[in-house]
């Protein structure tokens, strides 16, 4: 069974641009969560999706948004990039939203210049 | 969300057992204790979880105190590949999927 796939693996953007990151969950998994990891703040929860609906959102500004498609694939978008958005963005999938084991992808490393 | 407290870092010798402690004095009755680890340049991976009884799997063992206010992750024979950051997390299973990560314990394995 293929694991969680995140694309692209690396991305370089400049301030003010926007970016879209993609996540393909494990086949059969319907819940997708996103996390941001930085050296200063560690791993922080961004949002959680199940059946195309956002169920939970972390404490991030509205520039961070996401969506989930009917095939459970998910995208997250960051608009008007700031230097502080440089981070590793991780996606995790699980069977459903009931706190099952989460399987993480390798992440997308975003650098904002 | 209930919080956990872990040492910032620990060291262990290769091929010896490692005991990683975690305190969670405000744990509620519906909180499961989960452990994840993050190897260098990888996303976190699930290690083990439990509610009240001790648990074993191929990766590790989880020992849970009788009052559930603390737990210990046991790696029976550490290898260099076990060098990682280990996160002890409380999850109210059945409510939602989000994981609130703490700082974790950075485990160094000495050859």
Per residue in B46-69, pLDDT (tens digit) is 999 999 999 999 999 999 999 999
- Of the pLDDT bands very low, low, confident and very high (cuts 50, 70, 90), residue B1 is low
- Asked if the bond preceding B35 is cis, omega within 30° of 0, the reply is no
Is the pLDDT at A21 greater than 80, yes or no?
yes
Residue A16: Cβ within 10 Å count: 10
Q: Closest residue of A to B43, CA-based?
A: A106
DSSP A14: -
pLDDT at A98: 75
Task: Of B27, B21, B18, give the one whose Cα is nearest residue B72.
Answer: B21
CB B86 within 8 A of CB B39: no
pLDDT at A59: 93
Within an 8 Å CB–CB cutoff, is residue A92 touching chain B? Answer: yes
pLDDT at B23: 96
Q: Which of A42, A55, A102 sits opposite B103 (nearest CB)?
A: A42
- Of the pLDDT bands very low, low, confident and very high (cuts 50, 70, 90), residue A34 is very high
Instruction: Flag if A33 and B95 touch (Cβ within 8 Å).
Output: no
d(CA A19, CA B49): 35
Chain A residues with beta carbon closer than 8 angstroms to that of B100:
45
Is the pLDDT at A1 greater than 90, yes or no?
no
Q: Closest residue of B to A101, CA-based?
A: B46
Is the pLDDT at A47 greater than 80, yes or no?
yes
CA distance B97 to chain A (A): 4
Task: Of A110, A93, A103, A106, give the one whose Cα is nearest residue A48.
Answer: A93
pLDDT at B98: 79
Per residue in A51-101, pLDDT (tens digit) is 999 998 999 999 999 999 999 999 999 999 999 999 999 999 998 777 789
Task: Of A13, A63, A3, A6, give the one whose Cα is nearest residue A34.
Answer: A6
Instruction: Flag if A35 and B101 touch (Cβ within 8 Å).
Output: yes
Q: Which of B42, B98, B103 sits opposite A45 (nearest CB)?
A: B98
Backbone angles phi, psi at B44, to 5 degrees: -60, 150
Task: Of A3, A2, A76, A73, give the one whose Cα is nearest residue A34.
Answer: A76
Task: Of A29, A3, A19, give the one whose Cα is nearest residue A109.
Answer: A19
Q: Which of A35, A90, A99 sits opposite B96 (nearest CB)?
A: A99
pLDDT at A2: 80
Instruction: Flag if B94 and A103 touch (Cβ within 8 Å).
Output: no
- Asked if the bond preceding B8 is cis, omega within 30° of 0, the reply is no
Is the pLDDT at A15 greater than 70, yes or no?
yes
Q: Closest residue of A to B30, CA-based?
A: A99
d(CA B22, CA B16): 20
A96 or A12, higher pLDDT: A12
CA distance A48 to chain B (A): 7
Through-space distance between the first and last CA atoms of chain A, rounded to whole angstroms: 37
pLDDT at B92: 81
């Amino acid at each position: 069974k293929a694991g969680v796939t995140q694309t692209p693996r690396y991305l370089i953007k400049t301030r003010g641009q926007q970016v879209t990151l993609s996540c393909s969950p494990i086949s059969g998994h319907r819940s997708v969560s996103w996390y941001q990891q930085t050296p200063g703040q560690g791993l922080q929860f961004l949002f959680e999706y199940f059946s195309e609906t956002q169920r939970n959102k972390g404490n991030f500004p509205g520039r961070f948004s996401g969506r989930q498609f009917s095939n459970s694939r998910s995208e997250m978008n960051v608009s008007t990039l700031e230097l502080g958005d440089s981070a590793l963005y991780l996606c995790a999938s699980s069977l459903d939203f009931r706190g099952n084991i989460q399987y993480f992808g390798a992440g997308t490393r975003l650098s904002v210049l | 969300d209930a919080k956990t407290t872990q040492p910032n870092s620990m060291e262990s010798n290769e091929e010896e057992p490692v005991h990683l402690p975690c305190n969670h004095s405000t744990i509620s009755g519906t909180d499961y204790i989960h452990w994840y680890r993050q190897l260098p340049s990888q996303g976190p991976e699930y290690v083990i979880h439990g509610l009240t009884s001790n648990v074993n799997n191929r990766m590790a063992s989880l020992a849970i105190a009788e009052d559930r206010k603390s737990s210990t992750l046991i790696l029976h024979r550490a290898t260099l590949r076990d060098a990682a950051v280990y996160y002890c997390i409380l999850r109210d299973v059945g409510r939602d999927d989000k994981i609130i990560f703490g700082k974790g314990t950075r485990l160094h394995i000495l050859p």
